[in-house]
Homo-oligomer: A and B are copies of this chain.
Amino acid sequence: MSFSKRIPIFLLRLLALAATISATLIMVTSRDSAQVFNVKFEAKYTNSPTFTYFVLMNAIASGYTLILLFFPTKCSFGHLILIFDLIVALLLDSSISACIAIGQVGKKGNSHAGWLPICGQVPRFCDHVTGAIIAGFVAALVYFLILVYSLHNLINLFSLKN
């Protein structure tokens, strides 16, 4: 790939790194507590396996992006990078989707299942989770763009040959 085509990929990876690190940090620092019926209730990300999964996936994506950004020559696997990028995009997509599903129950509850919303009690926790989901969404979107741009550089996507 020519140098001029590598610059957009480098910038996109830099953005993905910022987004995944932000998502991880915002989720890890989400913490709030409330007193409900004299019982102290503390909300933190480790309370939910989904949020723990989110932190893990974003940390993995940060590490992967960091390696590709700063050790590109040593870790060049050629076209196999496309498959790794695809896997990272799928993992990020999976982690934000799971968090949105749980976040929606936290915000609105589910009257059918008898699950009450908790965001009224721990608003600071919910704000952090929302922020982390937004950062994670940016990361997933950037990885989608990296994939599309890399593919377009290798094969002309607008060619009608099949």
Kindly report which residue of chain B lies nearest to residue A46, judged by CB atoms: B112
The residues in A between 96 and 124 inclusive whose CB is less than 8 angstroms from any CB of B are: 96-102, 104-106, 110, 112-116, 118
Chain B hits for A76, CB < 8 A: 160, 162
> What residues on B are CB-neighbors of A110 within 8 Å?
47-48
A56: Cβ under 8 A from any B Cβ: no
* Interface presence of A35 (CB below 8 A): no
Using CB atoms and an 8 Å cutoff, list the residues of chain A in contact with chain B. 1, 41-43, 47-50, 76-83, 86, 89-90, 93-102, 104-106, 110, 112-116, 118, 144, 147-148, 151, 154-162
Contact A115 B112 (CB under 8 A): no
Inter-chain CA distance A95–B100, complex, in Å, is 11
Residues of B within 8 A of A89 (CB): 90
Residues of B within 8 Å of A112, CB to CB, are 41-43, 47-48
Closest residue of B by beta carbon distance from A143: B90
Q: Which of A114, A116, A160, A161 has the most CB of B within 10 A?
A: A114
**Given A78-B159, A86-B86, A154-B155, 11 further pairs, Cβ under 8 A:** A78-B160, A79-B161, A83-B148, A93-B97, A97-B97, A98-B100, A101-B101, A113-B115, A113-B118, A115-B115, A115-B116
